[in-house]
Amino acid sequence: MSKPEASHRHKVGALLFRHETILLLVLLAEWFYFNAVGRKFGTLDNTFDIMRHSAEIGLLALVMTPIILTGGIDLSVGSLLGLCAILFGKLWRDAGLPLPLAAACTLLIGLLAGGLNAVLIARLRLPALIVTLGTYSLFRGFAEAITRGVDTFTNFPDSFLALGQQHFAGLPTQVWFFLAVAVGIWLLVHRTTFGRSLRAIGFAPEGARYAGLAVERRLAQAYILAGIVAALAAIIYTARLGQAKADAGTGYELFAITAVVLGGTSIFGGVGSVHGTLLGVAAIAVLNNGLVHARQPREMAGMLTGALLLAALSASALPKLLAKFRPLRHSAAPPSSP
Amino acid sequence: MKRLFSLALCASLALLSACNKSPESGSSTGSGAKKLTIALMPKSKGNAYFISCKAGADEAAKDLGVELLFDGPTEPDPAKQNEIIENWITLGVDVIAAACENKEGISTALKKAREKGIKVVTYDSDANPNSRDFFINQATPQGIAQTLMDEAARLTDSEGEFAIITASLTAANMNEWRKNIEARLAEKYPKMKLVDTKPCDDLKDKAQAEATNLLSANPNLKLIMAICSPAVPGAAEAVKQAGKTGAVKVIGLGLPSENRKYVREGVTQSVVLWKTKDLGYLTIKAAADLANGKLKPGAKEFDAGKLGTLKIEGDSIVLGQPFIFNDSNIDQFDF
């Protein structure tokens, strides 16, 4: 859109476009394959199952996208989901708060936890990988310490469980929340200056700073957003399972990162899209679900996800490599002659 | 390029909607076969205990001509059991048999299955009673406690000091067993004395340390009874290292595989558990009969085929008395 980086954007855009097309084709291939060999795979009920089972990881992947666009990462979102889930339970059961208030407080806790990441990463300029590795342990550790690993929160009222288990206006209730967050983040990333500055930071943080962008503030906002949405995911998770335990969301951060990278966002930042992430989430979710319906061992899902990720990455790296290959051969000869 | 993309999208969407009609016709031919489908869920898939349950379940499935699905979590994700059960609900299985890792969480999914007309039994570890039809109970607390206490008495000629190692002093099931052990002791073995009960936090190392302390603090100790599975090899190692093999007997509740070495060496005399294959067999038999209408709520007895007629207590079918693994038979069991 902006003129100065137009030529670069054009190339990258073409590449991205390619990647997402490939992913869409993979998703369709998965769908048709499982629909052909699986039992009751293509039914509406099963489509809803897929949506409900991937809502929490999908939410985490959505907020992971802006972070990875800046060249950062957030390993703490899965742990934060666990911490928020049990704090939500504690606020409701032990502190006696009504559920809506407990939910609001939980979102606030998510904001504060995201804020901790934000201060350390944006203000103190510590590497995101290390900071969130720390909070990854810290948040989960808090959750385990508060419950001593055994306390479980259950017996939530049906009106709350409806959020995770019932339908609203034709879709599983939590899908509406997911869609709202998806649309919000898509607009944020693709239609605002906020989104453009995220990419600029991802391409070259120093350059963005010299260009007058509020780098610290943008980074902080991205991590705080992740905290809030992780808290929302925790509430949905609790409603879906009807229980909150300290081990909720274990390993979800890696699933989320996998979905984002599979969706074509570069782990180095600068390049990527929210719709790519959505395709990535869908490709993984359909694979996981389809294997069950096709009577294949579910353990294959991990293997196939890995293979899919590597194949998708290679496929989109190939044109770049080929483009580089020709000029390289010419310039490679002279240095070896003397 | 952009036009190509949207063209591809439109084409695929059209194909998608066209194909949506096929599943209905596919499923109707599938259900025409009328073969029962029973889905069996372990707490975790790689656990030798549940693999051995599955061997019995496979045998029952073959005998009864039912189709058996076996799936469970491989990773410690508490949401996984629910997701698999929800997949099974959508698949439309006839019966779900589950061993519950997350009691409360899984109960929501099992209740949903029952609402859809799927029969539900639990085995090994129960869910909330209102989320299943029957619980296949491998052993009652009385059965476990009596078997352990009687075996302790047999090995010590019903007299002398003994000590218990438990997982924790607060674990509900173990306290239930201890209560029953003490009741049996008071009732039948007046010359035996329980000198101490130590917790080991379900850790083998801690059990070994506690057993070493027990041995030095109680020179007249004749037997250590370990009622959580890591404590049995832990206590055995302590007795062996103290050079008291045979002088201080070791018995406990645990897996044969973990204790085989010590049983062969004569450090551990008896390991008490149930036959896991029988548990798997009984689970599938009960599941099939529940679906066929042969097993109804309120029944007092259950014809378990090759396992004979078993008692039903309330809504739990009891496998029977626990089994004692010792030097003479432990090599026949591989879990």
Give yes or no for residue B293 having a pLDDT over 60: yes
Give yes or no for residue B28 having a pLDDT over 90: no
- Residue B41 lies in domain: 34-138+276-320
CB pair distance less than 8 Å for B92 and A17: no
Q: Is residue B325 part of a domain?
A: no
B79-88, B100-109, B119-128: least confidently modelled range:
B100-109
Rounded Cα–Cα distance for residues B286 and A180 (Å): 46
CB pair distance less than 8 Å for A293 and B16: no
Considering the domain architecture, whether residues B198 and B107 belong to the same structural domain is answered as no
Q: Is residue B168 part of a domain?
A: yes
Mean pLDDT throughout B41-52? 85
Give yes or no for residue B29 having a pLDDT over 70: no
Considering the domain architecture, whether residues B228 and B306 belong to the same structural domain is answered as no
Question: With a cut of 50, which residues of chain A have pLDDT below it?
Answer: 1-4, 329-338
pLDDT for residue A8 = 60
CB pair distance less than 8 Å for A298 and B84: yes
pLDDT for residue A17 = 55
Domains of chain A: 42-314 (1.10.3470)
The most confident of A298-302, A314-318, B187-191, B327-331, by mean pLDDT: B187-191
Q: Which residues 268-307 of A have a C-beta within 8 angstroms of B?
A: 289, 292-293, 295, 298-299
pLDDT for residue A12 = 57
pLDDT for residue A338 = 40
pLDDT for residue A11 = 61
pLDDT tens digit sequence for B80-94: 889 999 999 999 999
Considering the domain architecture, whether residues B258 and B154 belong to the same structural domain is answered as yes
Residue numbers in B near A242 (CB within 8 A): 104-105, 107-108
Give yes or no for residue B145 having a pLDDT over 90: yes
Considering the domain architecture, whether residues B134 and B146 belong to the same structural domain is answered as no
Considering the domain architecture, whether residues B42 and B152 belong to the same structural domain is answered as no
Interface mutation vs chain B, best among A243, A252, A253, A300, most B CBs within 10 Å: A243
Nearest to A21 among B5, B19, B102 (CB): B5
The mean of the pLDDT values for chain B is 87
Proportion of chain B above pLDDT 70, given as a percent: 89
Q: Structural domain tally of chain B? A: 2
Q: Which long-range contacts (CB under 8 A, 24 or more apart) does B137-142 make?
A: B137/B313, B137/B316, B137/B317, B137/B318, B137/B319, B138/B274, B138/B279, B138/B319, B139/B274, B139/B318, B139/B319, B139/B320, B139/B321, B139/B322, B140/B313, B140/B318, B141/B173, B141/B176, B141/B177, B141/B179, B141/B180, B142/B180
Q: Which residues 25-84 of A have a C-beta within 8 angstroms of B?
A: 25, 28, 31-32, 35, 39-43, 45-46, 49, 52-53
Rounded Cα–Cα distance for residues B97 and B92 (Å): 14
Query: How near does any CA of chain B get to the CA of A46, in Å?
Result: 6
Considering the domain architecture, whether residues B262 and B239 belong to the same structural domain is answered as yes
Mean pLDDT throughout B290-307? 91
Mean pLDDT throughout B325-334? 89
Query: Would you place residue B167 in the very low, low, confident or very high pLDDT band (cuts 50, 70, 90)?
Result: confident
Residue numbers in B near A35 (CB within 8 A): 19, 22-23
Nearest CA in chain B to A246: B78
pLDDT tens digit sequence for A103-131: 999 999 999 999 999 999 999 999 999 99
